[in-house]
Amino acid sequence: MMKCSIFDHRIDLKHTFTIANRSSDWRPNLSVRLEYEGIRGYGLAAPNPRYGETPESCRAALEAMCGQLEGDPRAYEPMIRKMLASHPGEYAAKAALDMAIMDLAGKLLGAPLYRMWGLDPAAMPPTSFTIGIDTPEKVAQRAAEARGFRVLKIKLGSGDDQAIIRAIRTVTDVPVRVDANEGWTDRETALREIEQLAKQGIELVEQPMPAAQVEDMIWLKARSPLPLIADEAFTAVGDLITIGEAYHGVNLKLMKCGGTLIARDAIAMARSLGLKIMLGCMVESALGIAAAAHLGPLADFPDLDGNLLISNDPYSAHPVSDGRIRLLDAPGLGVAPLN
């Protein structure tokens, strides 16, 4: 029998975080704790308002799905697939339960997740560190503070984009990934911006245009000098077929996939379509980041800095050194509640 507890967290950001469509000082996260044979497993939900998820709907979904969990978490795959099919939508809640079941399975089997999946933690590429939209001076200051990271990710789409990039280039020459968060609505403008970016050491551009503008994205992919990565365009594994035509890669996030198991399905399918893999996150506790980081060795572009942007994380983290997440050799997710 599985015992389930749910906790609410108010996650405070170190700096007000602005992207092309909104600004915030804090985010709601929920965590779930499952207990089985005296062992505890933890998982994190960062509900996403874009998909109609609220902390309340997330909690209700967790309660409903927890009530239906049965069996031995060592057989995690059928348990997770049954959980995923037991409730519509609410992918953040599903991600939290997937993580908690995997954490339990790892602890019961005495192995870190990366070991259960046959991955090599030494193959972890560097993660990017994200800087939100601000004045060019402030962005340059944050870029200077992010020394130690080998890759930066900059949010654009504010109208002052080229000034922001020029300001960053006065303080650092590390590769920069750009996320426009659907900020360019005209394809000619998008192409002009991307051609400028290509001259300034930019590595890739994430979601340059609104996700719904598929024909424009196919046009842009044929002309873009930089790889284009889908983010908002990915809502479910089935979207990957279209994404394969309109983008060079996809940003996969556990909170959108519904956890690690579906994320692994999505990675396999994206690879078969020739897509590059970015592994992203929300503004979220290190608990959620840990689960994604165990998949990091499968990614081309880890973008797993959500916990580094917050000031009151309720969970411990895998350390970051030389810009890479160093997965601890501990069973399950390898992190724990701090109190």
Point out which residues bind Mg ion (CB under 5 A). Answer: 179, 206, 231
Strand duo 176-179 + 202-206: pairing? parallel
- Considering the complex, state which of residue 42 and residue 234 has its C-beta at the smaller distance from Mg ion: 234
- Least gap, CB of 251 to Mg ion (angstroms): 6
- Least gap, CB of 210 to Mg ion (angstroms): 13
- Considering the complex, state which of residue 33 and residue 153 has its C-beta at the smaller distance from Mg ion: 153
- Considering the complex, state which of residue 231 and residue 313 has its C-beta at the smaller distance from Mg ion: 231
- Considering the complex, state which of residue 231 and residue 284 has its C-beta at the smaller distance from Mg ion: 231
Q: Cβ(34)–Cβ(100) under 8 Å?
A: yes
Burial of 186 (0-12, 13-18, 19+ CB in 10 A): exposed
Give the residue closest to Mg ion by C-beta: 231
- Least gap, CB of 282 to Mg ion (angstroms): 10
208 three-state secondary structure: coil
Q: Cβ(110)–Cβ(125) under 8 Å?
A: no
Q: Cβ(79)–Cβ(101) under 8 Å?
A: yes
d(CA 116, CA 294): 10
- Considering the complex, state which of residue 19 and residue 34 has its C-beta at the smaller distance from Mg ion: 19
- Least gap, CB of 151 to Mg ion (angstroms): 14
- Least gap, CB of 10 to Mg ion (angstroms): 23
Angular region, 209: left φ>0, alpha ψ -120 to 50, beta rest: beta
Distances (CA, A) of 251 to 207, 279, 282: 9, 6, 12
